Amino acid sequence: MSNFYKRLRKKVGNELIFIPSVATIIRNDHEEILLQNKGNGEKWSLPAGAIEPGEAPAEAIVREVWEETGLFITPQKLLGVFGGKEYRYQYPNGDKVEYNIFLFECVIKKGELLPNDEETVELQFFSQESMPELALPYPKDILFNKERNNPYFQWDDQWLNDL
């Protein structure tokens, strides 16, 4: 957790906060997707993290992936934007968050799969058939449809019916 979010948590405790975030899909040569295990009882997740003040989303994903995986990546396209109640999460320590996530597809430029921080205990590539349940409910169509050209915008269009 960055100093910015540590200071914020000191002020609000475990209360719900909104966090602008990034996540990425990184594929290997077998079209498997890289996932991260934090080793603290949480479910597996895509490499992801908070956007820091003054940081663009693409910059944030490059930094987060380097910190969590040891890989230098390049964002290739925006796959989707996610948020809302489905992306609320409570950490084992009680901290509550609601993420607003920019999901990128990225490619590896160089590096060795080796975490540079204490947030990650295991990194592994998974096929669609062997994919574990993720901590956040990304649609499987987004994860494994490499040919998708348009970003996915998650929303509930129920309000249109009320107009």
The residues near 96 (Cβ < 8 Å, ≥ 6 apart) are 14, 15, 16, 17, 88, 89, 90
Q: What is the pTM of this model?
A: 0.88
Which pLDDT belongs to residue 120? 82
Lowest average pLDDT, out of 50-64, 75-89, 111-125, goes to: 111-125
Q: Is the pLDDT of residue 114 over 80?
A: yes
Mean pLDDT of the chain: 88
Burial class (CB in 10 A: 0-12, 13-18, 19+), 131: middle
Residues facing 44 on adjacent strands: 134
> CA-CA distance, 15 to 13, in Å (whole number)?
6
Segment 52-62, tens digit of pLDDT: 999 999 999 99
DSSP state of 54: T
Cβ neighbours for 40, distance < 8 A, ≥ 6 positions apart: 92
